[in-house]
């Protein structure tokens, strides 16, 4: 077949043609294809770091302006500087820092968005999830799966502060957001203290257990257990050159991720250990559970202290160094990417 020379179309002819397409709610793919299907991930998400020393005074100031009940949730949203006004820390995930003062109750509601809570400060305040009252201590991970009733109460003498993680942006993309309020401030406690931990957190399962759901039935993952495991692995296993020691929180019935849309994990970067560069397609939100160190993300380096939060954009190189033993909690949208066959990672050579 003879090749034909490309047509020589005048710019004005294109303009008139595009105007007619627009009237029919159509557009030419050839004008946007290179931006729709890129050679590698392109994102407006930027590295960012929220120092707890800066966040806490602002959070406490909010306590003087609005109560937990008035606010429904007294939270300062961690907004990515590359996504202004979006109330998102990455394109798919939300993060915020929540405060409940002594004597306060954050009233019950439920929503299709899944939530996780990583406790930063406070001892013994509780969150109630589908009838089970769960204590919260620093470093604990508490889950609120999709469409589960939940409320928070602080009957201690000190504030409770935690990082919230939700899949708000992902659910919004799918137009699948639902929310329901209750005419009762607190739900009735229908399960004994520690019920889910006894059933699912002791390396055992009920012998006639119900079929597994996509969400972990274990609502609280205590930090003391996680820290103990990290310490044992630090002493008795090889350290991953890109992560140090990194473990994910598992669904006890299936071994899958704890939530279907958000993958929580925890890692230990030992003192004076520097990780090799690493990148992956899942943007990652980190909170410092213990220790000090540095995080280098692209060309930015952040000095890390306990309770700080920072975000790593998708496909951005990252590396860590522990000034002392540095423990990092993280969550990402990796479970979604894995199930869709989209997740990729790359390991860099040592510098």
Q: Domain 48-347, CATH 2.60.120.10 — does that match?
A: yes
Q: Is the pLDDT of residue 139 over 70?
A: yes
pLDDT number for residue 351 = 52
Contact 200, 217 (CB under 8 A): yes
Long-range contact pairs involving 62-67 (C-beta distance under 8 Å, separation at least 24):
62/99, 63/99, 63/101, 63/159, 67/104
Contact 115, 78 (CB under 8 A): no
Residue 5 pLDDT level (bands cut at 50, 70, 90): low
Q: Please tell me the predicted confidence (pLDDT) of residue 349.
A: 82
- The mean pLDDT of 116-125, rounded to a whole number, is 98
Encode pLDDT of 66-96 as tens digits.
999 999 999 999 999 999 999 999 999 999 9
Name beta bridge partners: 96: 77, 164
Tens of pLDDT, residue by residue over 298-307, are 999 999 999 9
At residue 213, the 3 state secondary structure works out as: coil
Which of these, 226, 331, 327, 349, lies nearest to 270 by C-alpha position? 327
- Residue pair 294/304 in contact by the 8 Å Cβ criterion: yes
Res. 112: pLDDT tops 70:
yes
> How far is residue 208 CA from its own chain's centroid?
33
End-to-end CA distance of the chain: 53
CA distance linking residue 99 with residue 163, whole number of Å = 9
The overall pTM is greater than 0.85: yes
pLDDT, tens digit, 9 for 90 and up, residues 209-259: 999 999 999 999 999 999 999 999 999 999 999 999 999 999 999 999 999
pLDDT in tens, 145-157: 999 999 999 999 9
The token duo for 97 is: 């820092």
Q: What does the pLDDT average to over 284-290?
A: 98
CA distance 310 to 297: 10
**Is the distance from CB of 328 to CB of 289 less than 8 angstroms?**
yes
Which DSSP category does 212 fall into? P
Please answer whether residues 104 and 70 qualify as being in contact, where contact means their C-beta atoms are separated by less than 8 angstroms: no
**Residue 268, token pair as written in the block:** 């230990």
CB-side neighbour CA atoms (13 Å) of 252: 18
Main-chain phi, psi angles of 63, to 5 degrees: -65, -25
pLDDT band at 8 (very low <50, low <70, confident <90, very high): confident
Task: With a cut of 90, say whether residue 117 has pLDDT above it.
Answer: yes
Could you tell me what percent of the chain has a pLDDT over 70?
98
pLDDT of residue 249: 98
Count Cα atoms within 13 angstroms, Cβ side, for 45.
26
At residue 291 the predicted structure's pLDDT band, cuts being 50, 70 and 90, is very high
Name the pLDDT band for 11 (thresholds 50, 70, 90): confident
Domain residue ranges in the chain: 48-347
pLDDT at residue 350 in the model: 65
């Amino acid at each position: 077949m003879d090749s034909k020379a490309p047509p020589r179309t005048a710019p004005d002819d294109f303009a008139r043609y595009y105007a007619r397409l627009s009237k029919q709610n159509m557009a030419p793919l050839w004008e946007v294809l290179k931006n729709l299907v890129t050679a590698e991930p392109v994102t407006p998400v930027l590295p960012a770091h929220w120092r707890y020393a800066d966040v806490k005074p602002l959070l406490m100031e909010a306590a003087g302006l609005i109560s937990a009940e008035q606010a429904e949730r007294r939270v300062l949203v961690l907004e990515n500087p590359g996504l202004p006004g979006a109330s998102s820390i990455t394109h798919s995930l939300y993060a915020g820092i929540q405060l409940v003062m002594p004597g306060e109750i954050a009233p019950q509601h439920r929503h299709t968005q899944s939530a996780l809570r990583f406790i930063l400060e406070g001892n013994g305040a509780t969150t109630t999830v589908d009838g089970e009252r769960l204590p919260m201590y620093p470093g604990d991970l508490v889950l609120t799966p999709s469409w589960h009733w939940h409320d928070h109460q602080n009957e201690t003498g000190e504030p409770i502060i935690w990082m919230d993680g939700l899949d708000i942006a992902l659910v919004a993309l799918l137009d699948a957001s639902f929310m329901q309020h209750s005419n009762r401030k607190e739900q009735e406690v229908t399960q004994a203290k520690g019920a889910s931990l006894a059933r699912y957190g002791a390396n055992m399962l009920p012998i006639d257990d119900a079929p597994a759901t996509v969400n972990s039935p274990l609502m609280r993952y205590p930090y003391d257990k996680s820290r103990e495991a990290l310490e044992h692995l630090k002493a008795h296993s090889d350290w991953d050159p890109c992560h140090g020691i990194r473990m994910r929180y598992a669904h006890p019935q299936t071994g899958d991720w704890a939530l279907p849309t958000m993958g929580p994990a925890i890692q230990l970067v030992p003192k004076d250990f520097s990780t090799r560069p690493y990148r992956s397609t899942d943007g990652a939100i980190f909170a410092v559970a213990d220790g000090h160190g540095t995080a280098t993300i692209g060309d930015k380096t952040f000095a890390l202290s306990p309770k700080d939060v920072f975000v790593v954009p998708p496909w951005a190189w990252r590396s860590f160094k522990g000034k002392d033993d540095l423990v990092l909690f993280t969550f990402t949208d990796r479970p979604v990417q894995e199930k869709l066959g989209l997740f990729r990672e790359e390991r860099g050579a040592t510098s």
